[in-house]
Chain A
Amino acid sequence: MKPEAKNETQEMHRVEMTIGTILRWGVIVAAAIMIVGLLFYLVDGSLGVASNYHVQNFHQLLQGLIAGKPYAIMMVGIFALILTPVLRVVVSIYSFYREHDRLYVIITSLVLLILLTSFVLGIEFQL
């Protein structure tokens, strides 16, 4: 193997390891928030909100979080979990960029764009 090719393989391996670490931390953070929320729920014995209540926007979610409501903490954990696939797409774009794979930088960016469109549709228009 030529020294250049060897360097490139090592470089790609490093990039993949970094991506793996970032993704693992994303899942760990989401799980940690969910565990904290679950413990609050167990200690309090209730969700801290009316039984028919559900969060309708980020503002309400933040208020509930500041008030330390078990419902809000658990929902933030779930939202963090929902973001992990998005994180995966973002780091994939970076990994294709490091591999000088322009075609897949474009393809993966397109996936991210579609994903963001769906987020806007879901949040703004309650599709």
Chain B
Amino acid sequence: MLNSILLMLAVGVLVGILGAILGIGGGMIITPVLTLGMGLDIKYAIGASLIAVIATSSGATIAYLRDNVLNLRVAMFLEIATSVGAIVGALLTGILNPVFLYLLFGLLLFFSGANMVKKLWGKNSDQITHQDDKLAQDLRLNGSYYDKNLHKEIDYGVTNVPTGFGIMFGAGVASGLLGIGSGAFKVIAMDTFMKMPLKPSSSTSNLMMGVTAAASATIYFFNGSILPQIAVPMALGIIVGAALGSRIMQIMPTRLMRIIFIPILLYLGLQMILKGFGVSI
């Protein structure tokens, strides 16, 4: 019993650090640990992932809010798309064939991974957008943040708002329908399509993730897929890990964040495409 608690605490700290840095939920780490490592049913792994997403989000957001990295307007505006998407996704369970969705999202992850590689090697990598986007201005989405690695305040513009909104809706549907944390898609929508810098993208995704997950959490809470003896030590570890991760991220070079993010995107993409063909890894 004590061993299992200590294991979940340790897994939690790791998931919290990584999740806070990249703006993802960490289900991809928790699911294999629980199913392959501890022999638990996938149903409990999904329940644990959901709690992990909320714990990462709340643990990290406290630091990001204080340090003003995240963009609260972008988060709330896009949250309309993700939370409606999450409800639609839950309602579509059993109606829609998920194969098509797995393939679609798998390809999107590959596309974004390739795009990030391009940004990594490009001469003007991580150039800030300053073009005047009418919709972004009307919605006052443009923002600024203080980069603790570059030691300066960075103003940035936001563009392609409708496309970002659409991807966010898809991310919401995916999390409701497939039971995945869609943090990676949220970062993609902001970083790849709306041209936001990676740090505000990641911390804004962290804030949004918790809200989207909370939208489906009560369903899992009362249907028996949350095992408190697993979820509680894991969540406690994550809160500590996320608080650490959110501080590490701010002093990290953006380039290093991409180097960590790219293999994760490609792995997730491969996992989804294989799942679409009925293979689980």
A53 to chain B, nearest CB (A): 9
Q: Which residues of B contact A118 (CB under 8 A)?
A: 83, 86-87, 90, 215-216, 218
B58 to chain A, nearest CB (A): 4
Q: Which of B72, B84, B228 contacts A71 (CB 8 A)?
A: B228
Q: Which residue of chain B has its CB nearest to the CB of A122?
A: B218
Interface readout for B185-228 with A: 1 if CB under 8 Å, 0 if not? 00000000000000000000001001101111111011110101
Asked if residues B219 and A34 are in contact (CB atoms below 8 Å), the reply is no
Interface readout for B38-62 with A: 1 if CB under 8 Å, 0 if not? 0000000000000100110111011
Q: Which of B213, B215, B222 contacts A126 (CB 8 A)?
A: B222
- Contacts A38-B233, A81-B55, A104-B76; A57 near B211 (Cβ below 8 A): no
Q: How far is the CA of A79 from the CA of B228 in the complex (A)?
A: 11
Q: Is A66 on the interface with B (CB-CB < 8 A)?
A: no
A18 to chain B, nearest CB (A): 11
Q: How far is the CA of A26 from the CA of B1 in the complex (A)?
A: 28
Interface size range of chain B in the complex: 35 or more
Asked if residues A20 and B219 are in contact (CB atoms below 8 Å), the reply is no
- Contacts A81-B55, A82-B218, A121-B87; A20 near B232 (Cβ below 8 A): no
Q: How far is the CA of A6 from the CA of B79 in the complex (A)?
A: 32
Asked if residues A108 and B76 are in contact (CB atoms below 8 Å), the reply is yes
Interface size range of chain A in the complex: 35 or more
Q: Which of B59, B83, B139, B228 contacts A78 (CB 8 A)?
A: B228
- Contacts A23-B65, A107-B76, A122-B216; A88 near B211 (Cβ below 8 A): yes
Q: Is B231 on the interface with A (CB-CB < 8 A)?
A: yes
Asked if residues B219 and A110 are in contact (CB atoms below 8 Å), the reply is no
Q: Which of A54, A85, A95 contacts B57 (CB 8 A)?
A: A85
Q: Which of B55, B84, B232 contacts A37 (CB 8 A)?
A: B232
Chain A residues in the interface with B (C-beta under 8 A)? 16, 19-20, 23-24, 26-27, 30-31, 34-35, 37-38, 41-42, 45, 47, 54-57, 70-71, 74-75, 77-79, 81-86, 88-89, 92, 95, 101, 103-104, 107-108, 110-111, 114-115, 117-119, 121-123, 126-127
Chain B residues in the interface with A (C-beta under 8 A)? 1-2, 5, 51, 54-55, 57-59, 61-62, 65-66, 68, 72-73, 76-77, 79-80, 83-84, 86-87, 90-91, 139-140, 207, 210-211, 213-219, 221-224, 226, 228-229, 231-233, 235-236, 239
